[in-house]
Structure 1
Amino acid sequence: MEPELAERRTHREANRVVSAHARSWQLVSALRVEEFDAAQLGRTDQVILDMEDAIDDSLKQQARDNVLAWFEGGGRAWVRINDVTTRFWSDDLLALSDARGLHGVMLAKVESAEQVTVTYQRLGARHPVIPLVESALGIEEAVSIARATGGHRLAFGSGDYRKDTGAANEPVAMACPRTRLVLASRIGGLTGPIDGPTVGTTHALLREQSQDAVTLGMTGKLCLDPEQPGVINEEFSPSPADVAWAVEFLEEFEAGGRVIRDGSDKPRLARAELITRRAAYFRVRPLHEEL
């Protein structure tokens, strides 16, 4: 590996938003080796090399070989693996169990807590698992999935969910499964879930769907396009104006200028604390400091 590339990788990893709070999650086909470095060095918070979706059965081994070779060369990423009902799941785990550079795995089509736990254990209980919930049954079992040993964050496979249920790609149709995943994550003690990808090239649509997800309590989003992480990062971060309000609100409490007399201020206090925490994760400064 070229020294310059190694240095750029090291710098990018040192400044990457950790997976527990990552906003943008870029999926890259494991067959597109030429895109691996660009994704790792790009604006996405986390990279997922995809060995599952759209990889023909005859090319699964090639996908594994590509991922392992890139890891051996110093690459680092998450990997989406095939679901437990397929014959490819065991081979994926065998290949990745000792892979250098593996952050963790995204497990496709999760419908039970057991699927998460056995995957985690088969990886030596060393690599976290992101359960990708993609069906009506998965949504129904979301709370138990969120509580599974080895689970890291829930993710929404919105496309396959629509295929399974016949739901339209509209905010009103997506509100229920998104909310179920948000509630399950809270009950399971996980960071808010990762929304499914927006398919399309317009930033307006991406912003609209991101805002819908944020409104419901989701904290990240999958993406398929290297142009999307910048927009996602912006939409899933508190704005400088929000941070300025939160800082001022908390300062008043700390100075004794405000007193909680009843329950009316508690939600605002909790929101202010959440905003300041997320501002610290993403290095967002208050509006007056931006000027």
Structure 2
Amino acid sequence: MSISANRSRIDPGIARSWLLVPANRPERFTSAADGAADVVVLDVEDAVAETGKTLARANVLAWLRAGGQAWVRVNGTTTAHWATDLDALADTPGLLGVVLAKTESAAEVDDTAARLPAGTPVVALVESALGVEAALEVARASATLRLAFGVGDYCRDTGASKDPLALAYPRSRLVVASRAAGLGGPVDGPTLAVDEAALVRETQLAASLGMTGRLSLRAEQAPTLNRLLSPGAPAVAAARGVVAELGEDGARVRDGSDGPRLAGAKKVLALAAALAGHPAP
């Protein structure tokens, strides 16, 4: 049941692919953990019907206690399952962090963290108009590692379509809030379509807005997500060229445009270095 000892974990602050695995499908846990996804999230929330949550939670606990390691998506604070989820996970080894569903305030993040071992990171999943409006407050909560965007529930809550233009505002708001709070880029919602073209198109759109990770419902999508959300060879080469041109310390900066160019190049190279142990296919 345990994760392969050869699989090193990527820093979740820069993780690209976040694979959601239904907690009522325990036969998928180990293969998911040994796959290409940067982060595996065992899902006891939307992936599980009300009548199946007790068994799903037991599946998660059994796997973690047997040596598995994963994140867990827990139910929102307004549900009866939230406290039960956290009480069960509080003394469970192998828990790497939690994704908090339907986050709408910093207090919800704080209350969640308070029920878990000190230092347990929380990814706040924003899925409503209220959550989007509170994005900066949520991002500044001490336990918040990153923000994530729950596209489906946001559209249900607001009546917005899934057209990219309709979702540009909430995505951008999460990007700005994340940056203002000093967090890594937010994690976008999943591509529901099976075809690769849709996955590529939607991931490139998310990246263009400043999002640096994506949720996924299919293990086979992870290599594409990792590739598209990593600095490619051309970007790294261009960044090295800028540093060579302007100097590591900016000694050859000539005008007001060079400073931002150099800072951007250094950011690309730093990310590439951080991901060096986890090359994208």
Partner of residue 10, structure 1? 5
Q: Cα deviation per residue 1:36-66 (whole Å; 9 max; x = unaligned)?
A: 0111000000000000013122211111110
From the superposition, tell whether residues 269 and 255 of structure 1 become closer, same or farther in structure 2 (CA, over 3 Å). Answer: closer
Q: Deviations over 1:93-130 (max 9, x none)?
A: 10000110000100000000100011001113331111
Preserved CA contact (<8 Å) 2:250 2:259? no
Match of 2:109 in 1: 116
Query: Structure 1 residue 277 and structure 2 residue 257: aligned?
Result: no
Shift of 1:256: 8.3
Q: Counterparts of 2:176 and 2:21 in 1: how far apart (Å)?
A: 29
Counterpart amino acid of residue 228 in structure 1: Q
1:205 aligns with 2:198: yes
Identical-pair percentage: 50
Instruction: Give CA deviations for 1:250-269 in whole Å, capped at 9, x if unaligned.
Output: 12222789722332112211
Structure 1 residue aligned with 2:123: 130
Amino acid at match of 1:280: A
2:224 equivalent in structure 1: 231
- Structure 1 segment 43-58 matched on structure 2, within 5 A: 43-58=36-51
Runs of 5+ consecutive residues of structure 2 not aligned to the other structure? none
Distance 1:154 1:257 in 2: 33
Structure 1 portions without partners, runs of 5+: 286-291
- The alpha-carbon deviation at position 18 of structure 1 amounts to 1.4
Amino acid at match of 2:52: L
Kindly provide the amino acid, as one letter, of the partner of residue 66 in structure 2: G
After superposition, the Cα gap between the structure-2 partners of 1:96 and 1:211, relative to the gap in structure 1 and judged at 3 Å, is same
Counterparts of 1:205 and 1:270, CA distance in 2: 32
The question of whether the paired residues in 1 share the 8 Å contact of 2:188 and 2:215 is answered with yes
Q: Is the 8 Å Cα contact of residues 171 and 209 (structure 2) preserved in structure 1?
A: yes
User: Is this contact kept in 2: 1:181–1:193, CA < 8 A?
Assistant: yes
Alignment length (residue pairs): 278
Q: What's the offset of the Cα at 1:151?
A: 0.7
CA contact (8 A) 1:120 1:149 kept: no
RMSD: 1.7
Deviates more, 1:24-33 or 1:161-170: 161-170
- Alignment TM-score, normalising by the size of structure 2: 0.95
TM-score for both structures, normalised by structure 1:
0.92
Separation (CA, whole Å) in 1 of partners of 2:194 and 2:107:
37
2:69 aligned residue (76, 81, 85): 76
Partner Cα separation in structure 2 for residue 144 and residue 11 of structure 1 = 38
Structure 1 outlier segments of 4+, above 6 Å: 255-258
SS at match of 2:6: helix
Residues 199-225 of structure 1: per-residue CA shift (max 9 Å, x gap): 011111111111111111111000001
CA shift in 2, pair 1:284/1:253, >3 Å = farther
1:167 equivalenced with 2:167 (yes/no): no
CA distance in 2, matches of 1:37, 1:190: 30
Alignment of 1:34 onto 2:27: yes
Q: Which has the higher helix share?
A: 1
Provide the C-alpha distance between the structure 1 equivalents of 2:195 and 2:207, rounded to a whole number of angstroms: 19
The 3 A distance-change label for structure 1 pair 255 and 237 is closer
Residues 220-277 of structure 1, C-alpha deviations (whole Å, 9 max, x = no match): 0000011111110011011101101111211222278972233211221121011101
The amino acid that maps onto 2:121 is: P
Of 12, 23, 44, the residue aligned with 1:19 is 12
